[in-house]
Chains A and B, each alone.
Chain A
Amino acid sequence: MSTLTLAQLLAADPGSFDAAAQAWHALSDNLDRAGEDLIRGTRDLPNAWPEGTASQGAHTATEAARGELSDAYNPARRIHQALDHHAATLASLRSQAQGQVDAARQGGFAVDVGGFTVTPPQAHTELAAISLEKRAQQIVHELSDVLGRAQALDDSTATAINANLPDPVTGFGQRALPPVSRADLVAMKGRDPKQVDDWWRSLTPEQQQQLIRDYPDLVGSTDGIPCLDRDQANRLVLRDDRTALQQREDWIRQRMAWLQAHLTGGTASDQMAHHAEWARLNNELPQVEAQKARLDRLSGKLDSMGGQALLLGLDPAGDGKAIVAVGNPDTATHTAVLVPGVSTNLDGMSGQIDRANQIRTAADRTMNGPGQVAVVAWLGYDPPQMDASLPTAVASHRAEVGGVALDGFVDGLRATHGPGGDHITAIGHSYGSVVVGQAASHGHQLAVDDIVTAGSPGMDVDHARDLNVGSRHVWIGAADDDPIGNPAGHAGYETAVPIVGPWIAQAEDSVHGPSPQGDDFGANRYHVDTHGHSGYWDRNSQSLANQANIVTGQYGLVTLDLGSRP
């Protein structure tokens, strides 16, 4: 791990890394050209010297030389890319750090970059001293943040260089590559997805496959790793979890049979222990069966989608989480991320995938051809359920946690997207719109182009502009008879939800901020012709068509009840 200090960061010279990056660029170009020249120059060798006993060695050596040049090009290019990114990011980080140091000094703080200490200026009152000390700690925190990013960059670049070195004897052709450790992967998790993407691409295909094989849970859940690789890893997680559950079930059944046969034998103490264990296992068995069944349902759903679905996240713990893309977001021109609301869990994932598919099908119809749209059913958070957790629906804690996860996931989509159009829309349904609101505000910057809600109880912001995508890119929809999305309908909770409904209805009116459907919220209101809280994706509906047109950026085709198009 990098041990870079603040003083070293401030003293660094991005120009020297940039110069090295250009040299590696030239080298990779040279190798590419040399490879092409060798192929062109030796193309006629079989005609000039037909293959036979005498010429066999020359033909073999020619093939080997072609292979060596070809194999060397990509590693040289990857080092160039790593250094290029390193130089640009270093310049930015150093500038940020220098700016923070300069600002602190102008404010009278003494900054010792060698010892990494910030001392506040003399204060005239105790209150002022406390305030200045707090500010000094904040400055240290801000500098630590920049330094941490520089250390992460340092690690990532060093890894990229070391992963692309030739073997002194065999070059790149037959080299046994060093495996990448779990610690390397853990260190990447949670970093800026762009850094993760750079690091991942710096690995050789063999190293990437090794990580997917050895640590599928980490690969599958790390934002910044390309979608196809995450899918491959998560399907391994799904298979392994299913196998583990089956083994547990088999063991429980065998153990229960043995205990059943020994309930009456042995000492009284043995009998009591056997009864207690049998009862415990009898309680566990249906839970294991239920967990296994829901993984089977998800697996069956993925199978039924053929190659159209990508499993971008899976966590069977608790109520379960899953992220499934219909289409490939890394190659799609338009991607939507559908965030579900209350009572969604792994059991209901099939329904979410169906909704994603409905949106995609409708969006595809508006395009020149299929394959340009991907829609992600994103259950990457823990929504309140129709159980003891339901009252949490009127609080924002789950949405806050979910918002952070959603923000990171979308940053990951941006980082791994290939060349070409990259238009992303977040669609929040019900409590999912609170998650979207949290991800797009409160210090977060959800990297989407458009935000759509369906049946939103509020978004934890006062105005559409607070969502940081521009008010004209916030699109609100609610059915007249939706008791949650319609401000006048919150009272519907009283009949829709037993016992705690009235309490929720009262809380909903204020807890998640003003209703986005309101005129004062400042968003566009798209026309909804469907009914209830869950009809927004009904086939052939205007509600669905409007969402599809927003997802594909065809704003002129959206029918509006309020507002104006971008």
Chain B
Amino acid sequence: MGAPDEFAVDVPLLRKIAHSVDEVGKSVDGAVGKRTATLTLADGRDAGWSAADALRSGATVWETFLSGLHTRICGLGAQLSEAADRYEQADADAARRHRMRGD
């Protein structure tokens, strides 16, 4: 994330957005965590079925993908949250400098 730029940043709104993104990321993670067991078939009466084999290997591929998607979305939420922190800190620093100069 680069340095704060010249445009006005709405820090509370940015923090709210970061929170929303993080919630979405968690919901994707929840989807994986809750569903993984049933996305595929329990070992049992499906010997010989190509569809069962395809589902088992396919579910693994999907789990990897969803896990990565969860990481990317939560990472985005963290990026936004860090940006909000930095802008908040920059605002606080600017205010302190003004006070020291006696503006």
Contact = CB atoms under 8 A, between A and B. Distances in A.
A is bound by B: yes
Interface of A: 2-5, 8, 11-13, 16-17, 19-20, 22-24, 26-27, 30-31, 33-34, 37-38, 40-42, 44-45, 47-50, 52-55, 57-58, 61-62, 64-65, 68-69, 72, 76, 79, 83, 86, 153-155, 157-158, 161-162, 164-168, 171
Contacts of B73: 38, 65
Contacts of B35: 23, 26-27, 30
A41 B31 contact: no
A47 B50 contact: no
B44 A13 contact: yes
A536 B83 CA distance: 77
Q: Chain B interface: which size bin?
A: 35 or more
Query: What does DSSP make chain B's interface, helix, strand, loop or mixed?
Result: helix
B8 interface: yes
A12 B45 contact: yes
B22 to A, nearest CB: 9
Interface string B14-47: 1011001101100110110001001111101111
Interface of B: 1-10, 13-14, 16-17, 20-21, 23-24, 27-28, 30-31, 35, 38-42, 44-51, 53-55, 58, 61-62, 64-66, 68-69, 72-73, 76, 79-80, 83
Contacts of B55: 20, 83, 161
A72 B45 contact: no
Nearest to B6: A52
A48 B44 contact: no
A79 B58 contact: yes
A58 B8 contact: no
Nearest to A42: B17
A157 B54 contact: yes
Contact of B72 (A20, A57, A68): A68
Mostly helix, strand, loop or mixed at chain A's interface? helix
A22 B1 CA distance: 41
A37 B44 contact: no
Contacts of A23: 35, 38-39
A81 B35 CA distance: 17
Contacts of B42: 16
A34 B27 CA distance: 7
A62 B76 contact: yes
